[in-house]
Amino acid sequence: MPTIVKFRIEGIAPLSQSKPHLSELEPGESHDDWRKRTWREHLHADQHGEVFIPPGAIKNCVSEAALFMSILIPGKGKSTYTKHVEAGVACIRPVMLGINKSDVQSETLFLPADGKRGSGKRVWKTYPVLHQWSGDVELIILDETVLQTSHRSGNTILQDIVEGAGQFIGLHRFRPRKNGWYGRFVVTNFAVEALAMAA
């Protein structure tokens, strides 16, 4: 049985999702009207309309933080914990935010048409934005190397990495990893909920 780690993330910056969607223009509809009609489709929401953060977004955030921080494993030369996080940490449950998509606000920005920073043509784009958000995260730990105690902080290595993820990587559109400042969070109630059984 693998170890389960649970913690809560509390947003300290807006969260803006940009899920691609395939909604087409209706007959006679202008692009501006289409944008105003479909912007909520950029949200990840379940069948009840509750907004969530996909498991893959959490996993990628933590893995990118492990690579960015490159914390050395004591006694292992230049080896870091990065590969142990990438291969040994999984997130399989979405992080439910307790917010219905009908209550989400939007923002309209003049952005590159192709989504690439510095490209020439710009167009108006509308995205959902959550100014206050939080949720509970559950990670499955298959490699307990990441649960070793950090000599620097006294936390587990994984907690240090998750906290770094909230500060330096972030989640979704315009996050720090993509030269933005959205999607940043702090970590609370970090706990190891179940210990792996001995072989």
pLDDT in tens, 162-185: 999 999 999 999 999 999 999 999
User: What is the distance between the alpha carbons of residues 55 and 61, in angstroms, rounded to a whole number?
Assistant: 10
Convert the pLDDT of each residue in 111-162 to its tens digit: 776 666 766 688 888 999 999 999 999 999 999 999 999 988 999 999 999 9
Whether 197 has a pLDDT exceeding 60, the answer reads: no
Pick the closest to residue 138 from 166, 162, 154 (CA basis).
162
Rg (CA), the chain: 19
- The pLDDT assigned to 114 comes to 64
Sign of CA dihedral 167, 169, 170, 176: positive
In this structure, are residues 188 and 3 in contact, taking their beta carbons and an 8 Å threshold? no
- Give the rounded percent of residues in the chain with a pLDDT score beyond 90: 77
Closest among 20, 11, 47 to 131, alpha carbons compared: 11
Tell me how far apart the alpha carbons of residues 98 and 73 are, in angstroms, rounded to a whole number. Answer: 38
Could you report the per-residue pLDDT of 22-42, keeping only the tens digit for each? 787 888 887 788 888 899 999
Q: What are phi and psi of 89, to 5 degrees?
A: -125, 130
Confidence grade of residue 110 (pLDDT, cut at 50, 70, 90): confident
In whole numbers, what is the pLDDT of the chain averaged over residues? 92
CB 61 within 8 A of CB 76: no
Q: Residue holding tokens 């960015």?
A: 68
pLDDT, mean of residues 77-82: 96
55 phi, psi to nearest 5 deg: -55, -40
pLDDT score recorded for residue 3 = 93
Question: Other C-beta atoms within 10 Å of 163: how many?
Answer: 19
Nearest residue to 142 (alpha-carbon basis) of 194, 88, 93, 185: 88
Confidence of residue 196 (pLDDT cuts 50, 70, 90): very low
**pLDDT (tens digit, 9 = 90+) per residue, 5-18?**
999 999 999 999 99
Residues of the chain with pLDDT > 70: what percent? 93
Looking at per-residue pLDDT, the higher value among 193 and 164 belongs to 164
Give the span between the Cα atoms of 34 and 178, in whole angstroms: 27
- Rounded CA-CA distance 44/60 in Å is 16
Q: What is the dihedral of CA 108, 53, 167, 63, to 10 degrees?
A: -130
Phi, psi for 163 (deg, rounded to 5): -65, -40
